[in-house]
Structure 1
Amino acid sequence: MTLKQVFADLHIHIGRTESGLPVKITGARQLTFDNILQEASDRKGIDLIGIIDAHSPPVQDEIARNLDRGRYVELSQGGFRFRETTVIPGTEIEVRGDGKGVAHLLAYFPTLDVMRRFSGWMARYVKNMQLSTQRFHGPIPALEDKVAELGGILIPAHVFTPFKSIYGTAADRMSDILNLERLSAVELGLSADSEMADQISELERFSFLTNSDAHSLPKIAREYNELMVAEPSFEELVKALHRQEGRQVTANYGLSPKLGKYHRTRCLNCEELLPSAEIRCRFCGSTKVVRGVMDRIEQIADQPSRHPAHRPPYVYQVPLEFIPKLGPKTLECLLGRFGTEMEILHRAPLSAISELAGEGIAHHIRLAREQRLEIEEGGGGTYGRVKTRKTR
């Protein structure tokens, strides 16, 4: 069987249902299941997506209606096809480990029927099944067992962020909370990369994922993965994550960690970046300090960064929204010419981009492709930014 490379973003939230019911309170109203599919297929050029919040009963009703009328096609190997994009239904679950902080887990399932069965089971442990990322009031081993029983996969989400993640708030070691044998991969989050994560030995076995965690349509595919699979489907995704039969993650396209809003430790009072994971600001004395991912990893690292043989390259991805002076009108012009953001970022001739958008924008896209952009670091909830560089 011939394998091919596809782009995948597996962490996209739903803001509202088509009728306006809230799902992810912090998500945009336009972030409906169907709008996500249209954005991913027509504008982003993403082959495989994971839509979190498919556990929500009104969302499931929408999926069922679109399957019945043929807008989506359910695949025999799992997932739904819309035009050129396959979607895997998933959910984000909040768990608490041993009385410490909380962490988010992602679970994915092959079909709508299985997703509904999981939702029916989880409803006994969750207060509001309509809403996103609800607290699971049950034993974590029971959750792990149920996902496995239903043929789903479980992935810890944004594992280093200072809020609601395994290493950020819940534990120094993932194995203190989760059964590592039950996990299929690990999602890094916007403020970390493979070089940083591979300082923790228990992560060596896992494929890493870099996903957008999108809360609005433009954020889709700000981070994504390149997979080697036979086709975009649930079964092929599982094989790729477990590196079976030649399937694998062949590249992670993620933000430079410096662009992430939690990369560095920052004082929220005086907004100074701090050189280490301090709990009191050395500049103003405030205790309103958000610990950065870089400093947290330094605290818990148990080895020098050492990449296992299966680890693919981590390519610093700079979404078009970060390119200096690339406004909405210019972006629409580029999309009208080249079709999708993936085409602009990776394949469109720079000379043609320059003709449409100007030399400066083409120059920064070239620097992004070459991973030579200069970045001002982010932290404390503020994203980093790309510095403008003159053309030469």
Structure 2
Amino acid sequence: MRFYADLHIHSKYSRATSKDCDLEHLSFWGRKKGITVIGTGDFTHPAWFSEIKEKLVPAEPGLFRLRDDIEKEVTEKLPGSCHGIFLFMLSVEISTIYKKGEKTRKIHHLIYAPTLEQAEFINRKLDRIGNIKSDGRPILGLDSRHLLEIALEAGEGCYLVPAHIWTPWFAVLGSKSGFDSIGECYGDLAEHIFAVETGLSADPDMIRLVSDLDRYRLVSNSDAHSPAKLGREACIFNTDLDYFSMRRALETGDGYDGSAEFFPEEGKYHLDGHRKCNIRLSPDQSRQLDGICPVCGKPLTLGVMHRVQELADRTAGEAPETTDPFVSLVPLPEVIAETEGVGPNSKRVAKEYEQLLHKLGAELGILNDIPLEQIRNLSNSPLIPEAIARMRKGDVIREAGYDGEYGRIKLFREDELKQTVTISPPPSPGKGFMENIPPLSDDFSVEGAELPNDLPRAVLKD
């Protein structure tokens, strides 16, 4: 079975997250996005873990689903085209801060467990080390190797993935507080690492410039702090629908179909710069300035591209064709917003978004799988299928992010939106997995597309 999974998210108990990050809203929005398996996030937090145990029940091996009564409440508020299987995997992000090699290290890690008992074992171990009660993503003073050891001690199936490996401030290869290799970070246990997370500001083509990373499967996830951000990056599996088959796919590559990625320029740490001074620079430009802001004289934040170039031992022409295929996507609300000339959180965008989901199915299917001709036939605007065609071909205008400021991906020039757009021929149909999408029902209305009051739209920017 081919499906999307988003395995790095946060609950309402993490800092700077939406109050809507509960299991019901995560299920509601995850289905709208087209995700089949989602991480629970934050299982070390006592209150969240209690909710997990109360509201989830075992499903396929190592995975969980909502209780029947809660599932019914969620699905009856969704269009029929978004009623697919939806499962949870126990997950947590841990932040470790410690001294090693005369340098302060700040590393984020993702841990996965197939059973509640194994998650409880990890929680007991970490509770003895530091405070796991105040933040869904706990900050602990322990070595990364020690954290990996605890995950392995939890028993069969548990594994650890280094999170967003290039982020300057909190990543295993980050420019500010990371290492120069995975092996340096995890020491003699590094052989147990078989996958790394790309992060929003990098993609597999960039990562394959570093030959030391060839041995790792490249995964992508949303790191969502609000339900509406789910699926902005995701993994694509083609396996049996269970925890152990998914884990095996990451270990061996068999059944891992790659990832759906941001265009890396949209990530908020792609290029170098200093946001307070509105300075955005390429790595070459910042090297010429010795990494110093030309306006205020303070150090620049060196972005992901800069750090990749520091560790790269290949040029783009020398890098092997990635073993992990990927597609670069723009979130559907951003696509609609550009064609409408309004913000992505506007009511106009929300109405068009709901109509498209009713007609065509979930968001990731619209962006990546459904034939363009079908989108053209059912879209209210010719600009939307044209925008999706350009996105699928990578024919986009890129304004790169830097120093914590998100970049922007545009699909049209300003002058194009004021005149008739030349429609691109459709590319060859891809491997679609969302087929037989039911058409828009006769009684559908824009008003009916509004979210119910008890499942409010989450729009927190993260």
**TM-score (norm: length of structure 1):** 0.89
Alignment match, 2:47: 58
Alignment match, 2:86: 85
Alignment match, 2:115: 111
Query: Is 1:238 the equivalent of 2:235?
Result: no
Work out whether residues 258 and 378 of structure 1, in 8 Å CA contact, stay in contact via their aligned partners in 2.
Answer: yes
Work out whether residues 33 and 59 of structure 1, in 8 Å CA contact, stay in contact via their aligned partners in 2.
Answer: no
Deviation at 1:309, TM superposition (A): 7.3
CA distance in 2, matches of 1:51, 1:321: 24
Given the alignment, which residue of 325, 328, 334 partners 2:350? 328
Deviation at 1:217, TM superposition (A): 1.0
Alignment match, 2:331: 319
Q: Aligned AA for 2:118?
A: V
Give deviations 1:250-276, integer Å, cap 9, x for gaps. Answer: 122101111111101112233121132
Given the alignment, which residue of 43, 51, 58 partners 1:73? 58
CA distance in 2, matches of 1:260, 1:139: 28
Matches within 5 A, 1:9-48: 9-15=6-12, 23-41=13-31, 43-48=32-37
CA distance in 2, matches of 1:37, 1:157: 23
Query: Is 1:193 the equivalent of 2:183?
Result: no
Deviation at 1:130, TM superposition (A): 4.7
Query: Is 1:249 the equivalent of 2:239?
Result: no
Matches within 5 A, 1:116-265: 116-150=120-154, 151=156, 152-168=158-174, 169-178=177-186, 179-231=189-241, 233-243=242-252, 247-265=254-272
Segments of 5+ residues of structure 2 without an aligned counterpart are 67-83, 341-348, 423-462
Give deviations 1:41-95, integer Å, cap 9, x for gaps. Answer: 2x1111121222022111121122224xxxx4333x2011346122111111112
Alignment match, 1:18: none
Q: How large is the RMSD of aligned CA atoms in angstroms?
A: 2.1
Work out whether residues 204 and 322 of structure 2, in 8 Å CA contact, stay in contact via their aligned partners in 1.
Answer: no
SS in 1 for 2:212: helix
Give deviations 1:316-353, integer Å, cap 9, x for gaps. Answer: 12111331136111111111212311222123454554
Given the alignment, which residue of 286, 297, 303 partners 1:292? 303
Work out whether residues 91 and 108 of structure 1, in 8 Å CA contact, stay in contact via their aligned partners in 2.
Answer: yes
SS in 2 for 1:375: strand
**TM-score (norm: length of structure 2):** 0.76
Give deviations 1:24-45, integer Å, cap 9, x for gaps. Answer: 111111011332122212x111
SS in 2 for 1:65: helix
Given the alignment, which residue of 326, 346, 368 partners 2:368? 346
Deviation at 1:307, TM superposition (A): 5.2
Give deviations 1:270-323, integer Å, cap 9, x for gaps. Answer: 3121132453123x2431522111011111223335556771222112111331
Given the alignment, which residue of 384, 405, 415 partners 1:382? 405
Work out whether residues 237 and 258 of structure 2, in 8 Å CA contact, stay in contact via their aligned partners in 1.
Answer: yes
Change (3 A) 1:79 1:308: farther
Work out whether residues 73 and 81 of structure 1, in 8 Å CA contact, stay in contact via their aligned partners in 2.
Answer: yes
CA distance in 2, matches of 1:386, 1:143: 37
SS in 2 for 1:290: coil
Identity of aligned residues (%): 28
Work out whether residues 12 and 212 of structure 1, in 8 Å CA contact, stay in contact via their aligned partners in 2.
Answer: yes
Alignment match, 1:19: none
Change (3 A) 1:167 1:106: same
Change (3 A) 1:181 1:129: farther
Matches within 5 A, 1:263-274: 263-274=270-281
Structure number, greater radius of gyration: 2
Segments of 5+ residues of structure 1 without an aligned counterpart are 16-22
Alignment match, 2:77: none
